[in-house]
Copies of this chain bind each other. A is one copy, B any other.
Amino acid sequence: MNFISDNAYGVAPEILAAIQAANDGAVAPYGGDPVTARLQARFSELFAREVWVYPVASGTAANGLALAQLTPSYGAIFCHAESHIAVDECAAPEFFSGGAKLFTLGGDAAKLAPVDIEAALSRFRAPPHSPKPATISITQATEYGTVYSPAEIAAIGAIARREGMKLHMDGARFANALAHLNAAPADLTWRAGVDVLSFGATKNGALGAEAVIFFARDDAEDFEFRRKKAGHLVSKMRFISAQLEAYIEQGRWLTWAGRANTLAARMADGFSDVSGAEMAHPVQANALFVWLPDATIARLRKAGAKFYDWRPSTNGRTMARLVVSCMTPQDDVARFLAAARG
């Protein structure tokens, strides 16, 4: 019963098979191989326009590189105070960008709201004492398992355009958001004003495969230097590219994400029978944040369930974070709920 994170699980068989299939003979290293060459077309088709795709091996790299590409060292990046880039990446964007400012905002359920972005902008009106507002970063699905609608993204995209800023989307769980909304990839990205997407596959069945995806050639200029300089141009890139190709083939990524979402929704439903359980956020993707009585928490741990205490015990209850992966055994959900019911 491991609900620690979606990256606690391993690799989907289809992904492993793709790695094996790519292991054939000698090819040009550093992305000069045929699999990597195909990605450009595959992803352009997926996003219904020409895109520029750069595979990397970690989500922190994808975010840091994408943000550094669009943010000068003297720029400011607006993001949610609970976002991964603000909390969980050891200040990687500040490093990759050469010292840009991460300016954190509030907002319900880890989602940025236009009104808070406007308020933040009003604090950056004394250049060059205040850094130059350069980038807005949103997470889709968010750290709290919630999802921006296309209209919500477009409203933020409109501010970015008006201000000459760029819009970045951390899509470590992009598939989960897409599966929830049943929307087209284009609707959640460039059509809504997103300039660059950190496209994640690792949390949804890949071994280690992410991609930085730009929607305009100018935004991608010289990006290959940036990736190399940071040590993120792997020599045997075909094995990352093969994962990405297999991932989006036959709609696998959405099938997998849909499965995780469905399990998470089922789990959320199941908590209605758990005494004292209260959902902290709507469950729209594959993560649940639920307040549980401390006794329930203790019982779950005793039963072998693994998960994070997201907020420490207050007034006899603790907020648990439960993340469901596309590979989480269905039984684990049932067993978890049974243990929770006591």
Q: For residue A89, which residues in chain B have a CB less than 8 angstroms away from its CB?
A: 129, 228-229, 231
Q: Which of A24-32, A45-53, A250-258 contacts B (4 or more CB under 8 A)?
A: A24-32
Q: For residue A244, which residues in chain B have a CB less than 8 angstroms away from its CB?
A: none
B95 and A98 within 8 A (CB): yes
Q: For residue A234, which residues in chain B have a CB less than 8 angstroms away from its CB?
A: 57-58, 202, 208
A26 and B11 within 8 A (CB): no
Interface string of A202-235 (1 = CB under 8 A from B): 1100011000000000000010111111111111
Q: Which of A70-78, A295-303, A334-342 contacts B (4 or more CB under 8 A)?
A: A70-78
B229 and A10 within 8 A (CB): no
Within residues 94 to 110 of chain A, which ones have a CB less than 8 A from any CB in chain B?
94-102
A91 and B72 within 8 A (CB): no
Q: Out of B74, B233, B312, B325, which one reaches A225, CB within 8 Å?
A: B74
Q: Out of B58, B73, B101, B122, which one reaches A226, CB within 8 Å?
A: B73
Q: For residue A19, which residues in chain B have a CB less than 8 angstroms away from its CB?
A: 16, 19, 207
Q: For residue A123, which residues in chain B have a CB less than 8 angstroms away from its CB?
A: 87
Number of copies: 4
A227 and B58 within 8 A (CB): no
Interface residue A157 (Cβ < 8 Å from any Cβ of B): no
A161 to B29, CA, bound (A): 32
A238 to B74, CA, bound (A): 24
A231 and B229 within 8 A (CB): no
A90 to B98, CA, bound (A): 13
Q: For residue A129, which residues in chain B have a CB less than 8 angstroms away from its CB?
A: 30, 87-90, 228
Chain B nearest CB: distance from A263 CB in Å? 14
Chain B residue, CB-CB nearest to A172: B235
Interface residue A236 (Cβ < 8 Å from any Cβ of B): yes
Q: For residue A202, which residues in chain B have a CB less than 8 angstroms away from its CB?
A: 234-236
Q: For residue A240, which residues in chain B have a CB less than 8 angstroms away from its CB?
A: 208
Q: For residue A306, which residues in chain B have a CB less than 8 angstroms away from its CB?
A: 26
Chain B nearest CB: distance from A103 CB in Å? 9
Q: Out of B87, B127, B230, B238, which one reaches A230, CB within 8 Å?
A: B230
10 cross-chain pairs, A with B, having the tightest CB-CB distances, nearest first:
A61-B231, A95-B99, A98-B98, A2-B26, A74-B225, A94-B99, A91-B101, A7-B235, A128-B228, A60-B231
A-B contact pairs, 7 of them (CB 8 A): A10-B22, A58-B235, A61-B232, A76-B91, A89-B129, A90-B229, A96-B231
